[in-house]
């Protein structure tokens, strides 16, 4: 039965048999499953390497991809650097996002697709297998058929297939991958594969792989490692020189040669009488030349894979920390570029088939996409200091933008939310002496009245003047009577000195005390009223 209602990426109907969705395409290609890979790195020479690369450009890529496998397997430095770059994507959070200007239904479909995607077993392993294309140009992962569970269609399994199984086919517009088989290869079934083509550099697939750059440093490094091993074998062991008589036969000479070899490895041997073995000091040599070539090759490999060398070793110099930070930023740029390419492939070859087969989208243009979060959280302390100032200056700043900048997600509905601490309570007034309570109440009563009375400072001045008027009037009257009784200033002075003890200050002091207490309470009352108004 043919399903004709499914639209392809180009918007045209696709013809897909149900049998095609039921089993993997390679299930019937037993020859691919049973073949053994070659190892072209054995006895690799510059001329042999050039031949392998030339054959790949002519369409025969099998030996080239087998060489890539050997390099990743034999060269520990390449393996470690490629592992860093590939696993960097696994640390990034990813999600299925709806299309731009999405409707509520499209948002719900994106949420459902995200749940279906994470229902796939070992999705992280799928991501890691996809990144195999970073070094080798492309990676093909085959669906092990589609299953229906609780009404939902999902791939039964997703399996990585070796690059040596595939050939390229070029038409007028695009370069396609096909399974090795008949002339021209067998086209890949729709909705049966994840095909990720990773652009390390521009060009055809045969030449765009990152390992295409790494093969030459690997070759030169391989030569230097072999030369260094030979150097250590020859120059690290004392020379053994055998002497035989002039009339010795060939058998006697071979016996002496075997004895020399046994002495070198077993520290024991026998020779016929009349023969001698002399030992000479090991010839001195300098292995730095070989180490320099090995170091150059590994630095070149690190630059090609990670964009620098100081994320792999400590380097030499006094400012390696600053340079290491620069190199790490370059590695982050590579990670983000890899993430964008991988996300596009997941959206096209995994999200879209799941969405189409489960009725969650109608066409590719409005299909949800997979997206890695490559944003770096901003400095929280810097934003905490700057944002209040910008808001006070009149800048209109959205809360969602601010939360994205500092890396704080929106809280879920019903989730507990941190709140600012409560404002400190208003200070309690100090206790007042009992004997002054009645007087203070009388003074505060008019202050609390909501009338158009004069301001509190003027009221206090008027009341203080009334309280002081009586003792001051008594002093003035006493001095006036004394002035009428005397006949000269000298007599007035003497009589004032006599009158002074009778002029008490108790009433004056009491009035001043009441005035100061009134001012104190008025100030407290003003603070209290202000706090009540702000609540």
Q: Give the pLDDT confidence of 264-321 residue by residue, as tens digits.
A: 666 566 666 667 666 666 556 667 777 888 899 999 999 999 987 765 555 555 455 5
Give whole-number Cα distances, 397 to 378, 404, 405, 406, in Å.
Answer: 16, 12, 12, 13
Does 218 map to a domain? no
Domain extent, residue 447, equals 438-534
Number of domains in the chain: 4
**Taking 90 as the threshold, does the pLDDT of residue 226 lie above it?**
no
Does 310 map to a domain? no
pLDDT classification of 97: cutoffs 50, 70, 90: very high
Q: What is the pLDDT of residue 317?
A: 53
pLDDT classification of 123: cutoffs 50, 70, 90: very high
**Taking 70 as the threshold, does the pLDDT of residue 42 lie above it?**
yes
Q: What is the pLDDT of residue 348?
A: 94
Of 348, 372, 396, which residue constitutes the final position of a domain? Answer: 372
Q: What is the pLDDT of residue 125?
A: 94
Could you tell me which residue, 434 or 339, shows the higher pLDDT? Answer: 339
Q: What is the pLDDT of residue 244?
A: 78
By C-alpha distance, which of 136, 241, 242, 288 is closest to 197? 136
Q: What is the pLDDT of residue 310?
A: 63
Average pLDDT over residues 133-158: 90
Structure tokens belonging to residue 254: 């071979």
Same domain, 27 and 112: yes
Structure tokens belonging to residue 23: 């089993």
29: helix, strand or coil: coil
Could you tell me which residue, 42 or 285, shows the higher pLDDT? Answer: 42
Question: What's the CA gap between 530 and 154, in Å, rounded?
Answer: 67
Least confidently predicted of 63-72, 152-161, 448-457:
448-457
- Dihedrals phi, psi of 97, to nearest 5 degrees: -110, 145
Could you tell me which residue, 85 or 497, shows the higher pLDDT? Answer: 85
**Taking 50 as the threshold, does the pLDDT of residue 247 lie above it?**
yes
Same domain, 114 and 261: no
Question: What's the CA gap between 515 and 498, in Å, rounded?
Answer: 31
Same domain, 203 and 139: yes
Does 460 map to a domain? yes
Same domain, 368 and 401: no
Average pLDDT over residues 480-496: 75
Least confidently predicted of 154-163, 172-181, 464-473:
464-473
Same domain, 267 and 184: no
Does 517 map to a domain? yes
Same domain, 366 and 382: no
Question: What's the CA gap between 290 and 79, in Å, rounded?
Answer: 21
Same domain, 484 and 509: yes
Same domain, 268 and 156: no
Quote the percentage of the chain above a pLDDT of 90.
29
Does 47 map to a domain? no
Same domain, 339 and 274: no
Of 326, 355, 372, which residue constitutes the final position of a domain? Answer: 372
pLDDT classification of 439: cutoffs 50, 70, 90: low
Does 305 map to a domain? no
Does 433 map to a domain? no
Q: What is the pLDDT of residue 350?
A: 95
Q: What is the pLDDT of residue 309?
A: 73
**Taking 80 as the threshold, does the pLDDT of residue 468 lie above it?**
no
By C-alpha distance, which of 117, 114, 121, 193 is closest to 156? 121
Model confidence over 183-213: pLDDT tens digits?
778 889 989 999 999 988 888 888 889 999 9
Mean pLDDT of the chain: 79
pLDDT classification of 51: cutoffs 50, 70, 90: very high
Q: What is the pLDDT of residue 1?
A: 47
Of 320, 343, 372, which residue constitutes the final position of a domain? Answer: 372
Type and span of the H or E element at 47: helix 46-57
Give whole-number Cα distances, 327 to 340, 341, 461, in Å.
Answer: 20, 22, 77
pTM of the model: 0.65
**Taking 70 as the threshold, does the pLDDT of residue 461 lie above it?**
no
DSSP state of 363: S
Least confidently predicted of 388-397, 432-441, 489-498:
432-441
Classify residue 163 as exposed, middle or buried by CB count within 10 Å of its CB (0-12, 13-18, 19+). buried
Could you tell me which residue, 151 or 368, shows the higher pLDDT? Answer: 368
**Taking 90 as the threshold, does the pLDDT of residue 432 lie above it?**
no
Least confidently predicted of 139-148, 355-364, 449-458, 512-521:
449-458
Model confidence over 371-410: pLDDT tens digits?
998 887 677 777 778 888 888 888 888 888 887 777 777 7
Polymer length of the chain: 535
Does 468 map to a domain? yes
Sequence-ordered alpha helix ranges (H) in 236-287: 250-266
Question: First-to-last CA distance in the chain?
Answer: 75
Q: What is the pLDDT of residue 451?
A: 47
Quote the percentage of the chain above a pLDDT of 70.
71
Same domain, 192 and 340: yes
Same domain, 159 and 273: no
Same domain, 94 and 154: yes
**Taking 50 as the threshold, does the pLDDT of residue 452 lie above it?**
no
């Amino acid at each position: 039965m043919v399903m004709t209602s499914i639209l392809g990426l180009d918007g045209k109907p696709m013809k897909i048999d149900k049998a095609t969705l039921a089993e993997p395409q390679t299930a019937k290609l037993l020859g691919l499953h049973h073949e053994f890979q070659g190892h072209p790195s054995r006895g690799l020479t510059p001329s042999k390497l050039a031949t392998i690369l030339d054959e790949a450009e002519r369409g025969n890529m099998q030996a080239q991809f087998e060489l890539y496998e050997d390099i990743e397997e034999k060269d520990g430095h390449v393996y470690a650097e490629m592992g860093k770059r590939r696993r960097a994507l696994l640390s990034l959070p990813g999600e299925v996002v709806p299309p731009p200007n999405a409707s509520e239904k499209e948002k719900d479909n994106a949420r459902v697709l995200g749940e279906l995607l994470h229902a796939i077993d070992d999705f992280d392993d799928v991501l890691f297998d996809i990144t195999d294309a970073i070094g080798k140009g492309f990676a093909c992962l085959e669906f092990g058929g589609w299953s229906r569970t609780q009404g939902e269609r999902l791939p039964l399994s997703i399996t990585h297939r070796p690059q040596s199984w595939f050939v390229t086919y070029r038409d007028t517009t695009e370069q396609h991958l096909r399974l090795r088989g008949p002339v021209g290869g067998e086209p890949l079934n729709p909705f049966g594969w994840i095909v990720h083509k990773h652009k390390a550099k521009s060009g055809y697939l045969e030449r765009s792989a990152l390992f295409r750059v790494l093969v030459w440093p690997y070759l030169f490094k391989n030569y230097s490692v072999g030369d260094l091993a030979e150097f250590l074998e020859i120059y690290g062991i004392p020379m053994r020189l055998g002497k035989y008589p002039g009339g010795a036969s060939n058998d006697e000479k071979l016996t002496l040669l075997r004895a020399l070899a046994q002495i070198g490895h077993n520290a024991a041997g026998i020779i016929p009488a009349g023969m001698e073995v002399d030992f000479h000091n090991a010839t001195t040599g300098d292995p730095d030349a070989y180490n320099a070539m090995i170091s150059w090759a590994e630095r070149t490999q690190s630059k090609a894979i990670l964009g620098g060398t100081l994320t792999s070793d400590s380097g030499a110099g006094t400012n390696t920390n600053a340079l290491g930070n620069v190199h790490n930023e370059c590695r982050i740029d590579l990670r983000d570029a890899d993430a964008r390419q991988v996300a596009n492939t997941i959206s096209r070859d995994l999200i879209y088939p799941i969405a189409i087969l489960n009725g969650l989208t109608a066409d590719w243009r409005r299909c949800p996409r997979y997206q890695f979060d490559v944003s770096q959280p901003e400095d929280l302390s810097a934003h905490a200091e700057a944002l209040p100032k910008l808001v006070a200056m009149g800048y209109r700043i959205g809360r969602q933008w601010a939360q994205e900048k500092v890396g704080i997600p929106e809280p879920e509905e019903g989730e507990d939310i941190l709140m600012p601490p409560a404002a400190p309570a208003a200070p309690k007034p100090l206790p007042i002496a009992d004997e002054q309570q009645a007087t203070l109440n009388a003074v505060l009563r008019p202050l609390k009245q909501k009338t158009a009375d004069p301001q509190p400072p003027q009221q206090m001045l008027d009341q203080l003047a009334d309280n002081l008027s009586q003792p001051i009037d008594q002093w003035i009257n006493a001095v006036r009577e004394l002035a009428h009784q005397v006949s000269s200033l000298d007599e007035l002075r003497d009589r004032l000195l006599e009158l002074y003890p009778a002029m008490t200050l108790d009433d004056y002091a009491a009035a001043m005390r009441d005035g100061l207490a009134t001012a104190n309470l008025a100030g407290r009352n003003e603070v209290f009223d202000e706090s009540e108004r702000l609540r």
